[in-house]
Amino acid sequence: MVDRYDEKYSITRQCKLLGISKSTLYYERRPIKETDRLILNRIDEIYTECPFYGARKISRELYNRHGIKAGRKKVRSMMKTLGLEAICLKKKLSRPNKQHAKYPYLLKGLEIKRRNMVWSTDITYIRLSHGYVYLVAVIDWYSRYVLSWRISYSMDTSFCIVALNEALDNYGTPEYFNTDQGSQFTDKDFVGILEEKKIKISMDGKGRALDNVFVERLWRSVKYEDVYLRKYENMFDCEFGLKKYFTFYNFTRIHQGLDYKTPAEIYLPNAKERRKVA
């Protein structure tokens, strides 16, 4: 898709037009050992089911459930690869990176009463038959509507920025934007987009994934209802399958919390508007 010798459009411009991150184009995934891939997949399953488990309990569960011996340090390292952290309050929170901006959590006690009031984003691990990719999504809290998403081989900032810009271009500007304190979302380029548009930035407390609860619920749905069942072979199969799933999620899947309506019925109440987006 990308022509490296195109004289009219630079590689950066071509990647932007195609909606892919430049790092994905150049990134070469180092082969992963089959045993490590298996452990990563099992950790993902255990954490999705029990997000309050830390490395110690996951290590024990790996052995009890699957007969896999993996020490706490190895599990902790792999959880870092997956971008996972147990949901719990800690006596001593991590010190912020002085080079990256941090913002307080602004949503406690806030009544979410309209669409585009609060958006949020997060990254999760998606397993493939012979490796893995990362998925980022932007969601509207009021309606649970998935505004945009992207996948990437590497957990960098660029594919998060592509997803953010797509949501802003297609759906306007929210009042609040909530993220965790991951380096992708505290990066000056990501934060700069929000600041330029005068969006109030809110960030979860360290180790407080439930501060971003709607995205956490989305990941459970994506994995249990699609990824674990489909067993995607490669990145292209995964992208094609997730496109179908998110269309189903937005326009067909009913939510008990939405009085058994779909996210599109809440976010896009006009029937003509829904057909246009679909």
Higher pLDDT, 99 or 55: 55
Residue 148 has pLDDT above 50, yes or no: yes
Residue 90 has pLDDT above 50, yes or no: no
Instruction: Give buried/exposed letters for 25-40 (b at 16+ CB in 10 A, else e).
Output: beeeeeeeeeeebebb
Angstrom distance (rounded) from CA 133 to CA 217: 19
Phi/psi at 134 (5° precision): -110, 145
Q: Where do the structural domains in the chain lie, given as residue ranges?
A: 34-82, 118-277
Of 3-12, 209-218, 221-230, highest mean pLDDT? 221-230
Cα 13 from chain centre: 24
- Residue at token pair 């209802």: 225
CATH top-level class of 118-277: alpha beta
Tell me what the pLDDT averaged over the chain comes to. Answer: 83
What is each CA distance from 99 to 46, 92, 95, 122, 180, in whole angstroms?
Answer: 34, 20, 12, 21, 16
